[in-house]
Amino acid sequence: MDTEPAVTLDLALQHGLSEAEYDRIISILGRTPTYTELGIYSVMWSEHCSYKNSLALLRTLPTKSDTLLTEAGDENAGIVDIGDGLAVAFKIESHNHPSAVEPFQGAATGVGGILRDIFTMGARPIAVLDSLRFGDISHPRTQYLVSYVVKGIGNYGNCFGVPTVGGEVYFDSSYNTNPLVNAMAVGLLDKKGLIRGAAKGVGNPVVIVGSSTGRDGIHGATFASEEISSKSEDRRPSVQVGDPFTEKCLLEALLEASEAGCLVGVQDMGAAGIACSTSEMSARGSCGMHVDLDLVPIREQNMTPYEIVLSESQERMLIVAEPQKLGTLSSIFAKWDLHAVQVGEVIADNVVRYLKGGRVVAEIPATSLAAGHGAPVYAREKREPAYLRSTRSFDETSLPAPADLNEVLLKILSSPNISHKGWVYEQYDNAVQTNTSTGPSADAAVLRMKGSQKLLAITTDGNSGYVYLSPRIGARIAVAEAARNIVCVGGRPLAITNCLNFGNPYDPEVYWQFAEVVAGMSEACKALGTPVTGGNVSFYNEGPDGAIFPTPVIGMVGIIDDENLLVTPDFKDPGDIVFLLGENKGHVGGTEYLRHFHNAMVGEAPRLDLELEIAIQRAVLTLARSRLIKSAHDLSEGGLAIALAESCILDPKKPMGARITIPSTIRPDFLLFGEDQSRILISASTTNAEPVQTLLRETNIPFQAIGEVQPNRLTINNHVNLPTTRLADLYYDSFPNAMTQKV
């Protein structure tokens, strides 16, 4: 301790704290903090851990529901009751900054961290999804990042034994410096086996389980709370190193210990390591902890208290155990070749106290550290971005009409944001555990659940271009489209988690975007009845060229009552009737058509009528439950023509075509590639066509019978006439061909 640096304001500033925050720490402690205490406050009050610039707005989100078993933000993951004595745990988080400098380990440990959030709740992970954003695909660095992020996700998930069943991959130059790697995990548990993340019971033993502690990942939380720069490569030591095989053992040991009644509370030891897990569990339980750092299993020599407390070594957890079951707990973890070492005990005082060499090296009020308890909460200055004056002035009539709409369709279909991402997800095992019913090609992934006839539908969604142009509307659309994806497989949407990726919150324009997104997300969730179970905020996603597009990613779960009610997006049989639900208005602002054919990101996001959205989703769900439709497919990026092409070719073993006729006064390119919201393609047999129309008329929603399924060829009015073999070749081959870099 004598060799530790003297704590000064200058040292606090170097740790990322402000002068006001340093003064607040002195006031809380009644003295100058020790070096270890300064390090603890610096990580716990970082944006990554404290949510200090977002929590005030996040508290406005709808988080109440009769089916929610946990409060948003109060536990490691959200839990939703799905009946039959079962519950679903799910959450999404970011690992953006680590993936920017060390893409393989950054992505891999992102998956590992989100999996631990799930099984700390007593849930067995059954699925992973990933939502990825990269820069210009032609850049060698982008291809390097894509390749190693995908390898990292695949390596961890495949080795751990969890299927990666869905997600998104998008490209835009705004992510050139700062890619986004958001990982979502879903788990299943018996409601009676729910484990809380709170410390309870004075005198109960505090136990570290899992791997040994090293120096990897120290100050990873503060690294995630600063901008990417030319110096970020120097932060590679802040990137954790994962071991999926150890994590698999940790999962099995933890669930076995839960079955044996050994556990009072459990907390993942992720960001900020021991500092975070001890303080958060104490704050939730209105108690404290006494921890002897000499007892912590370490794998490196001469580690200081500062390093031990702040290490973010992976595959570790903190357990408050039943004292009479401590021997059983140790035996279980020993069987799995894992540490289970008592390092302290729960105390009545509201402090976390760390000792080293018999001396107190840090003693801090637990509630002063934890987000939502005593950590700072700020409301930043907001200002509407100046760029919106320019983007909103877009005049769509100024666009030259393309001479060949076949060419437009082929160019958009083969673009990196639209083309098939098999190159990505074929590196993932999406069938392990044998529960996957539909995987990445469907509108939402669908999983069977042992112990129930119900199926679980899960998806991630978010269009950052829409949010860039119209933040509030774009956020509403992200929620609505996620729900639409669930409905299109026959599911009833239940709840969401979210990962909100933005630039620097101290920039008033960025904070305005953030506030608008939270408001839009709240409006849509309230209307759709999908409460927010929790999530993650990732600020400081920007580099020398500026901030990323504001990127809210919505993760949603839903329930399908029976496997016989499952719907897929592909057309099935020649002669089936194709219906379009919703209205064509030809909106082109922010579309893939503008982006890839006219090289522009201008206009405003398409309007969204939430009442119409709800009515259409309910109608499709009723049709699916009545088994009247053979397919359903959401119209999203690329519009009508892309949705029709995908419905023709999404089953490569049985490609179809379609003959489509749509009377319209809308300009042809706008009709085919406009991205109006609340539209769904469905198909039905000729026998069911009339009952379908009767139900749609009764629900008073706009719809058209626009054609029929045919073999081999897609025709749309006199605008498009293409063989489906050509569509399929471009759709399936374009992305692998674009990934030219060999790694």
Q: List pLDDT tens digits, range 596-631.
A: 899 999 999 999 999 999 999 999 999 999 999 999
Residue found by looking up tokens 């088994």 in the block? 627
Burial tier of 733 (Cβ tally within 10 Å: 0-12, 13-18, 19+): middle
Which structure tokens are listed for 354?
Answer: 């760390």
The confidence score (pLDDT) of residue 504 equals 96
Closest to 238 (Cα-Cα) out of 38, 19, 46: 46
Residue found by looking up tokens 């206009």 in the block? 603
Structural domains of the chain, with CATH: 381-419+567-735 (3.90.650.10)
**236 falls in which pLDDT band (50, 70, 90)?**
very low
**Is the separation of the CB atoms in 360 and 344 below 8 Å?**
no
The confidence score (pLDDT) of residue 385 equals 97
Residue found by looking up tokens 């600020």 in the block? 539
- Mean pLDDT to the nearest integer, 376-392: 96
Which structure tokens are listed for 560?
Answer: 């399908």
314 or 511, higher pLDDT: 511
Q: How far apart, in Å, are the Cα atoms of 547 and each of 131, 338, 502, 539, 662?
A: 18, 42, 7, 10, 41
DSSP lists the bridge partners of residue 83 as 86
The confidence score (pLDDT) of residue 77 equals 92
- Percent of the chain at pLDDT above 90? 89
Is 598 annotated as catalytic?
A: no
Q: What angle do CA 638, 640, 643 make, to 5 degrees?
A: 75
164 or 440, higher pLDDT: 164
- Percent of the chain at pLDDT above 70? 96
Identify the weakest region by mean pLDDT among 149-163, 219-233, 344-358: 219-233
- Residue 458 sits at φ, ψ, to 5 deg, of -140, 145
Collapsed DSSP state (helix, strand, coil) of residue 609? coil
Is 48 annotated as catalytic?
A: yes
DSSP lists the bridge partners of residue 492 as 559
Closest to 363 (Cα-Cα) out of 288, 303, 271: 288
**342 falls in which pLDDT band (50, 70, 90)?**
very high
The confidence score (pLDDT) of residue 567 equals 96
pLDDT over threshold 50, residue 655: yes
d(CA 681, CA 578): 7
- Mean pLDDT to the nearest integer, 281-290: 96
Q: Which of 95, 596, 633, 719 is catalytic?
A: 95
d(CA 124, CA 447): 14
pLDDT over threshold 80, residue 713: yes
* Cα end-to-end span (Å), the chain: 46
| 87-133 pLDDT, tens digit each | 999 999 999 999 999 999 999 999 999 999 999 999 999 999 999 99
Q: What angle do CA 228, 232, 238 make, to 5 degrees?
A: 110
Mean of the per-residue pLDDT values for the chain?
93
**Is the separation of the CB atoms in 669 and 631 below 8 Å?**
no
d(CA 327, CA 102): 40
- Mean pLDDT to the nearest integer, 133-146: 95
DSSP lists the bridge partners of residue 733 as none
Give the 3-state DSSP-derived string for 352-413, with helices as H, strands as E and coil as C: EEEEECCEEEEEEEHHHCCCCCCCCCCCCCCCCCCHHHHHCCCCHHHCCCCCCHHHHHHHHH
Which residues, 6+ apart, have CB-to-CB distance to 163 below 8 Å? Answer: 126, 127, 128, 157, 428, 429, 430, 431, 432, 433, 435, 436, 439, 447
- Mean pLDDT to the nearest integer, 480-507: 97
The confidence score (pLDDT) of residue 466 equals 98
The confidence score (pLDDT) of residue 223 equals 47
Supply the Cα-derived Rg of the chain in whole angstroms.
Answer: 26
- Residue 465 sits at φ, ψ, to 5 deg, of -65, -45
d(CA 381, CA 379): 7
Please state the separation of Cα 204 from the chain's center in Å: 35
pLDDT over threshold 80, residue 289: yes
- Mean pLDDT to the nearest integer, 36-49: 94
Closest to 447 (Cα-Cα) out of 125, 18, 192, 730: 125
Rounded-to-10 torsion of CA 270, 275, 276, 278:
110
Which structure tokens are listed for 178?
Answer: 């700062």
The confidence score (pLDDT) of residue 743 equals 47
| 175-230 pLDDT, tens digit each | 999 999 999 999 999 999 999 999 999 999 999 999 999 988 786 444 444 555 55
Which structure tokens are listed for 577?
Answer: 């009737």
Buried b (16+ CB within 10 A) or exposed e, 522-536: bbbbebbebbbbbbb
DSSP β-ladder status, 492-501 and 532-538: parallel
pLDDT over threshold 70, residue 733: yes
**2 falls in which pLDDT band (50, 70, 90)?**
low
pTM reported for the whole predicted model: 0.95
Residue found by looking up tokens 């705004």 in the block? 174
Closest to 297 (Cα-Cα) out of 382, 221, 211: 211
d(CA 393, CA 275): 50
Please report which helix (H) or strand (E) contains residue 513, including its range: helix 508-528
- Residue 279 sits at φ, ψ, to 5 deg, of -75, -40
pLDDT over threshold 50, residue 134: yes
Q: Which of 48, 596, 633, 719 is catalytic?
A: 48
**Is the separation of the CB atoms in 411 and 419 below 8 Å?**
no
Which structure tokens are listed for 311?
Answer: 């290490």
The confidence score (pLDDT) of residue 331 equals 97
